[in-house]
Amino acid sequence: MPHFRYGKMFLCSLLAILHLVTQQVLIGTSETWLKVSLKHSGSLFMYAGHEGGAYAKNSFGNVYTAVGVFVLGRMFHEAWGAEAIRKQAEFNEFLEKNHMCISMELVTAVLGDHGQRPIDDYVVVTAVTELGSGKPKFFSTPELIAFCRKWRLPTNHVWLFSTRKSATSFFAAYDALCEEGTATPVCKALDEVADISVPGSKDHIKVQGEILEGLVARIVSRDSSNHMGEVLREFPPPPMDGIVHDLGPSLREICAANRSDEKQQIQALLQHAGTSLCPSFCDWFGNGAVGIHFRNADRSVLSKFLQVHPADFSTTKLQEMIRLMRQRHFGVAFKCYCNFHKIDSLSSDDLHFKMVIHVHNDSVFRRYQQEMRRNRGLWPLYRGFFVDIDMFKLNKEKAAELVKDSNMLLKNINGSDVSSSVSDGLADEDANLMVKLKFLTYKLRTFLIRNGLSILFKDGPSAYKTYYLRQMKNWGTSTVKQKELSKMLDEWAVYIRRKCGNRPLSSSTYLNEAEPFLEQYAKRSPQNQALIGSAGSLVSTENFLAIIDGGRDEEGDLHLDEEVIPLQPTPSAIDTVPKDEGLIVFFPGIPGCAKSALCKEILNTPGGLGDDRPIQSLMGDLIKGRYWQKVIDERKKKTSVITLADKNAPNEEVWKLIEDMCRSTKASAVPVVPDSEGTDSNPFSLDALAVFIFRVLQRANHPGNLDKASPNAGYVLLMFYHLYEGKNRKEFETELFERFGALVKMPLLKPDRNPLPEPVKVILEEGISLFRLHTDRYGRYKTEPSKGSYAKEWAQWEKRLREVLFDNADYLNSIQIPFDIAVKQVIEQLKDVAKGEHKTPETEKRKFGNIVFAAVTMPVKEINCLLNEITEKEPKVKDFLRDKDLENNLRKAHVTLAHKRSHGVTAVASYGIFEKQNVPVDVTALLFSDKSAALEVRLGSVNGEKISSKNEWPHVTLWTAAGVPPKEANALPQLLTEGKASRVEIEPPTTIAGVMDFY
């Protein structure tokens, strides 16, 4: 009986978790601590571990791996000097013995442009993991620093925030710097607000430059601060014994000398890395007579891997992860390669291979997170990792013993039953809570310039403008920066197309052109300099670029950054839709959502959608063959038509087709979705599902044969329902709006309805459970319910489903919004879309703004009431205010606390802990001159802490004369001493409550 064990897991403990959470503010309390570390611009992630000298970036045996191995080896020589080779061997032995993984970030200029070309090539350690106790143990931040300093490994700059005040100050500082932050001001601000700052081994400015990709923040244990202090005392920064030694040719010199042949590059890099890191070239070039083209293992090994008995607990959990991802049809690649290190080590009946597990889409992490909530014992999923797998045969006695040991381990690990143990599961959301915060100066280069090149050269400046405007809108970029960037990017588009002609600029070397352009643009004005951040330190790469132009990592992810949003082909929702363009109305819904009936009503509406464009409806049930291709063909005949795509469009694959169709047929698109509260993992509630099924079971002679005569109608509805699994309502609506710029909701259920009757809820939940059993065994679409092993259960459930729903027909009819009202509301929304006036409801997605100042927002109504009281008592005030009409002209009022330009970023950020808190404000006097008027104030306390303004004279500006800026009100006290202003005391002071806000 075959059994297997697998070797070390190579995991990234940093990047992957970022995709399990939405962006949100993380608050440090007395129970939790916030850790922030740098995210380097111009980097590629390298997941490193030791197995026969193999280090990898989501894979192995390619030029990317070879570069990583070389840089890692050079790092050892820099740190240890003459001791480097011995320390490399010692380090490798330590990793293997303790089943450890070192996750690193590789920053290099030789693998293609990414943000900003680094001045030097280097790595920093981002995580340390060990798999000695049967499950991954990630080192805490202090443990990581101690480990790295012991082995002289380079680390990131790390900041710890141990109080609520420092943590909120951090996020406020980021908000203040996110649109123009570069390395120097960002590091300075964080040093000032952090409780502990641990400088990185490499100075970002010296090895990288000023362009900073971003920050990674996560919650760590409350003991981290004390522990970090102990570590810093016990492990001072290690010496660099190899700096003065001759380290041989550099990475760039080696790549330049072998730039015509990638194989030669790899060989040269590995030879210079040394035998400690690379004792064999077989991962790159095969083993003897077995060439590189035979590295791929037979696809059947994955199936065998899932069928054999696990030899240990770790293997059991890995099988569980992979089975679930395959059963749920997650977008994950499982690539298997021969392990040439062990090809001759054991019996020919044994199988030895390396399996790369690579997650392609961010949505997979959200869906997997839902599974982790249902099964707390699941191990977490990461962006990319690989494992060594050995499958081997044993005699019956040994096999029985191994199975027994394995079963005992499953029951006893950590002293509890693994299947039910929450403590053993790694689905601890607090521990995994992380967020990546990027800076606009980096995103400008990577997303707006580099990732827009293909659109610019293929589809032209108009499509490029649509792309970059949508990107900035999705990021929540401030209006000022959007305007400045639009001007610059339009100029860039003209410049680069004129220079390159019809020959597209390579994304691998785009900085050759972009950096000189940005440098010249920045020189024109201080405003441009702030927009660009830093330019001019261009590092030439023509002579040492490692990759062959146009090449790709074999895992296909080199240029796919997780923050890239797919091309948005539609104009902004607030723009007027040109009448020579078409409109595609499509339906991300479920059968029974009334889309066909709605389409008929739209066709019969006098005047259509309010303009003269013709409307056509294409019903999916009446079209043979490929539906969406038919839509494209019809749209090409007349692009200005409004197309009603009467077919359910349930997933991202279809949405991408519609995006492509918009671009190719000159149209915009709008999704119409049934309104529903949704569940934690589905945008549609059980109430909505019950109504959809009930409607389908009332239909007769349906063109698609999905009606009351269909024996599997319930199954089909469940199948559609599960196509949306993995997104809650907010995520679903946000993604549609971000893709298409508009979202129309079709009213479905009455908000004041009674809860779903228990029998209806139970029958639906039974169907969902049965559907999961069926798809776990057969997969979706592959086996009809009437032909599988659950055929009897399906037949019984379909029968009971009809009985339960019709028994509750009065309820299901009563909770629905009348169809005529729903149609009217949808048509009105569609008319607004056609005019460019539609605005979708807020999705509550956090958007980082560019904070300029902190202030206490004051209620204008109460201020006007106070002024009326003063005018009744003081004739001179009444005379002064007579022609000012403040009741209508005073729209906003605030007390400035700190301004970014005047007082610094950290001064503004220090008020983060008070954001949205009520602040008592005592108004003590009114001061006015012929040019300005203001109320003098005294700020109170919040939660026992006194609020003070960085301004010498805290006040509320009420009025300034034409052409006089509001800041001139600061001069009123001085004008008063000069006899050029008047003062009216308010006795006793009037207290008005304001709210602390950032602007």
Q: Are 886 and 141 in contact (CB under 8 A)?
A: no
H or E segment and range at residue 425 = none
Spatial separation of the C-alpha atoms in residues 94 and 763, rounded to whole Å: 56
Spatial separation of the C-alpha atoms in residues 119 and 116, rounded to whole Å: 9
Spatial separation of the C-alpha atoms in residues 103 and 58, rounded to whole Å: 11
Dihedrals phi, psi of 728, to nearest 5 degrees: -80, 180
Smallest CA-to-CA distance from 769 within 794, 744, 740, 749 is with 794
Give 896's Cβ-side CA count (13 Å radius). 20
Q: Are 141 and 228 in contact (CB under 8 A)?
A: yes
873 is written with which tokens?
Answer: 């008592």
Please name every residue paired with 922 in a beta bridge, in sequence order, or none if there are none.
938, 991
Could you give the 3-state DSSP secondary structure of residue 489? helix
* Single-letter residue type at 934: A
DSSP 739-778: HHS--EEE--B-TTPPPPPHHHHHHHHHHHHHHHHHHHHH
634 is written with which tokens?
Answer: 């019809």
Q: Which of 8, 35, 39, 481 is catalytic?
A: 39
Angle at 943 between CA 938 and CA 948, to 5 degrees: 30
232 is written with which tokens?
Answer: 């810093």
Sheet of 100-107, strands arranged across: 43-49, 100-107, 122-130, 137-138
The 8-class DSSP code of residue 505 comes to P
Count CB atoms within 10 A of the CB of residue 751: 9
For 392, residues 6+ apart whose C-beta sits below 8 A from its C-beta are 2, 3, 4, 5, 346, 347, 349, 350, 351
Sheet of 384-393, strands arranged across: 309-310, 2-10, 384-393, 351-359, 332-338
Q: Are 268 and 558 in contact (CB under 8 A)?
A: no
CA distances to 136, 273, 598, 630 from 47, rounded to whole Å, are 15, 17, 52, 45
Please name every residue paired with 337 in a beta bridge, in sequence order, or none if there are none.
296, 354
Smallest CA-to-CA distance from 116 within 445, 342, 472 is with 445
Spatial separation of the C-alpha atoms in residues 394 and 349, rounded to whole Å: 11
Q: Are 214 and 436 in contact (CB under 8 A)?
A: yes
Q: Are 869 and 773 in contact (CB under 8 A)?
A: no
Q: Are 921 and 938 in contact (CB under 8 A)?
A: yes
* Helix 461-475 and helix 479-500, axial crossing angle in degrees, nearest 10: 150
996 is written with which tokens?
Answer: 């602390």
Decide if 39 is catalytic: yes
CA distances to 778, 876, 914, 925, 972 from 978, rounded to whole Å, are 88, 19, 37, 18, 10
Q: Are 797 and 785 in contact (CB under 8 A)?
A: no
CA dihedral 668, 672, 675, 677 (to 10 degrees): -60
Q: Are 108 and 558 in contact (CB under 8 A)?
A: no
For 565, residues 6+ apart whose C-beta sits below 8 A from its C-beta are 470, 471, 474, 738
Residues involved in catalysis: 39
